[in-house]
């Protein structure tokens, strides 16, 4: 009934039948802060970062945390203090980085739809690099930079056309995707960009998808990108850095992605073999730094037996944990207190209170729970709170960062006043 070991959650364990994250009993947090409650482990986040750092030992690398995975200020501060840069996709994310104490010079700006206002804001802040995603964007960024008397540092995102073998909604490096410049166009686009006075070509980048659990797509993408580096440099355009994006998967349900250090040992060997081992590297990991560092706690409201299905209705919903509704994603769901040996179990769909049939968190789970019991939805550190919404006028949950035996509240539960701020009655 309880997945054993708990999928991918290094700091999560039962002690005396009570689920702990680091040295904090999660039931205590649920009682003191209410539910739904996101709880993150600082040690798990820094441990995930350390795996990358080990893989890159002795190399010139800038790890840019892809903050859309979890953009809470307390989480950003932790990565900023650990020396990370940030991969951002909006002006709002830039403001969060600066508010959390991150350095603008270590920020790279990705995304297919940057507005001119966002470009101006990022140039004024002095970000490290724009990852440009289309030919049209190149000309707009050049014009915006020249108007400001600035020069925009750029890298061009190329689409290596490799299959990351992941969910189609989170695959980004195939021909049919909206991201990046086609491999065949890349050299011509670099020649065009290099001739523009408002731009300075710094590097090249790719990002092929998310929740990638195999090594081969990365090796294939690296080969394709290095082929382009050679072709672009043959035109006299020097590339100072190569950015291999993010996308490394985590264990949600017995998934076995390569460990970050093992993956990068292999990728760096390939880079060395092709003569690019001394080049500055950037990477943009998101999910793999935070996903398994977090859980979402929820209270059981009702058991609702049915003819064809039994439902366990909890107080967290698709607005708090959108991944199951969006991608049919699997999250392990476990009790905060282990049931007594031999307790009766039922197979249930764990669902939220939102008025949508798509509002489910887990299907066909074997649980032994009564109203008032608490459950933890695992692997909830990435793409959960950052994707949460107010649908059904539900306030977004509170967030706690655990550090050893200490629990810091890093976001208050959202109130109705928070939600209605900014709204006006017409008369």
Q: Distances in Å between the alpha carbon of 72 and those of 225, 321, 388?
A: 33, 15, 12
Residue with tokens 């990370």: 84
Q: Which of 207, 224, 365, 396 binds ligand PLP (CB under 6 A)?
A: 207
Q: How far is the CB of 207 from ligand PLP (least distance, A)?
A: 4
Binding site listing: 247, 284-287, 323, 327, 356, 383
For residues 222 and 281, give the distance between their C-alpha atoms in angstroms, rounded to a whole number. Answer: 12
- Read off the DSSP letter of residue 400: E
Using the minimum distance from each CB to ligand PLP, give the nearer residue, 102 or 246: 246
Residue 171 binding ligand PLP, by CB under 6 A? no
Numbered residues of the known binding site for pyridoxal 5'-phosphate: 247, 284-287, 383
Q: Which two tokens stand for residue 287?
A: 């999910």
Instruction: By CB under 6 A, name the one of 71, 134, 210, 292 that touches ligand PLP.
Output: 210
Residue choice 203, 286, 395, 397 for contact with ligand PLP (CB under 6 A):
286
CA atoms of 15 and 412, how far apart (whole Å) = 28
Pick between residue 35 and residue 110 the one whose CB is nearest to ligand PLP. Answer: 110
Q: Does 69 contact ligand PLP by CB under 6 A?
A: yes
Q: How far apart are CA 248 and CA 137, in angstroms?
A: 27
Query: Closer to ligand PLP at the Cβ: 69 or 196?
Result: 69
Closer residue to ligand PLP, CB minimum distance, 12 or 132: 132
For 118, 198, 224, 284, 351, the CA distances from 148, given in Å and listed in that order, are 13, 9, 35, 28, 52
245: contact with ligand PLP by CB under 6 A: yes
Interaction between residue 8 and ligand PLP (CB under 6 A): no
**Mind giving me the DSSP string for 204-217?**
EE---BSSB--SHH
Going by C-alpha positions, the residue among 45, 70, 56, 113 that lies closest to residue 282 is 56
Of 39-47, 241-249, 357-365, 414-422, the window that binds ligand PLP (rule: CB under 6 A) is 241-249
Q: How many residues bind ligand PLP (CB under 6 A)?
A: 16
Q: Is 260 in the site for ligand PLP (CB under 6 A)?
A: no
H/E element holding 324?
helix 323-327
Candidates 36, 246, 294, 395; binder of ligand PLP (CB under 6 A) is 246
Q: Classify residue 413 by its DSSP letter.
A: P
Q: How far is the CB of 286 from ligand PLP (least distance, A)?
A: 3
284 binds ligand PLP (CB under 6 A): yes
CA dihedral 360, 363, 369, 372 (to 10 degrees): -10
Name the residue nearer to ligand PLP (CB basis): 48 or 196: 48
Is 102 or 285 the residue whose CB approaches ligand PLP more closely? 285
285 binds ligand PLP (CB under 6 A): yes
288 near ligand PLP, judged by CB under 6 A: yes
> Contact between 85 and ligand PLP (CB under 6 A)?
no
Q: Name the active-site residue from 206, 296, 355, 384.
A: 355
| Helices within 24-151 (DSSP H only) | 26-33, 42-55, 73-81, 91-99, 116-125, 135-147
Residue 154 makes contact with ligand PLP by CB under 6 A: no
What does the alpha-carbon distance between residue 121 and residue 38 come to, in Å, rounded to a whole number? 31
The DSSP-derived string for 267-289 is HHHHHHHTT-TTSEEEE---HHH
84 catalytic? Reply is no
Q: Active-site residues: which are they?
A: 355
Residues engaged in binding ligand PLP (CB under 6 A): 66, 68-69, 87, 110, 207, 210, 245-248, 284-288
């Amino acid at each position: 009934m309880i997945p054993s070991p708990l999928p991918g959650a290094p700091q999560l364990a039962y002690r005396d039948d009570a689920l702990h994250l680091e040295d904090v009993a999660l039931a205590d947090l649920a009682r003191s802060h209410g539910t739904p409650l996101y709880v993150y482990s600082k040690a798990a986040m820094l441990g995930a970062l350390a795996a990358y750092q080990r893989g890159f030992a002795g190399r010139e690398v800038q790890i840019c945390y892809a903050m859309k995975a979890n953009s809470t200020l307390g989480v950003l501060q932790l990565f900023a203090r650990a020396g990370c840069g940030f991969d951002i996709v909006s002006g709002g994310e830039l403001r969060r980085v600066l508010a959390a104490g991150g350095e603008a010079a270590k920020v790279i700006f990705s995304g297919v739809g940057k507005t001119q206002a966002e470009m101006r804001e990022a140039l004024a802040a002095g970000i490290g690099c724009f990852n440009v995603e289309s030919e049209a964007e190149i000309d707009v960024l050049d014009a915006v930079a020249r108007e400001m008397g600035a020069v925009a540092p750029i890298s061009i995102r190329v689409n290596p056309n490799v299959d990351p073998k992941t969910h189609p909604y989170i695959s980004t490096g195939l021909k049919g995707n909206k991201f990046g410049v086609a491999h065949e166009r890349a050299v011509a686009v670099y020649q065009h960009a290099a001739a523009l006075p408002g731009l300075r070509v710094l590097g090249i980048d790719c990002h092929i998808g998310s929740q990638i659990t195999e090594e081969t797509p990365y090796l294939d993408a690296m080969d394709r990108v290095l082929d382009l580096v050679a072709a672009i440099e043959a035109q006299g355009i020097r590339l100072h850095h190569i950015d291999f994006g993010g996308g490394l998967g985590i264990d949600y349900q017995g998934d076995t992605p390569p460990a970050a250090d093992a993956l990068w040992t292999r990728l760096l060997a390939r880079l060395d073999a092709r003569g690019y081992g001394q080049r500055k590297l950037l990477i943009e990991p998101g999910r793999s730094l935070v996903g398994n560092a977090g859980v979402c706690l929820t209270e059981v409201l009702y058991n609702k037996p049915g003819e064809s299905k039994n439902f366990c209705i909890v107080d967290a919903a698709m607005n708090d944990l959108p991944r199951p509704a969006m991608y049919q994603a699997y999250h392990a769901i476990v009790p905060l207190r282990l049931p007594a040996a031999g307790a009766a179990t039922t197979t249930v769909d764990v669902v939220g209170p939102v008025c949508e049939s798509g509002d489910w968190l887990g299907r066909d789970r074997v649980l032994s729970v009564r109203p008032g019991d608490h459950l933890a939805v695992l692997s909830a550190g990435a793409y959960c709170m950052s994707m949460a919404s107010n649908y059904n006028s539900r306030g977004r949950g509170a967030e706690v960062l655990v550090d050893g035996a200490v629990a810091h509240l890093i976001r208050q539960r959202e109130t109705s006043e928070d939600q209605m701020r900014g709204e006006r009655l017409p008369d």
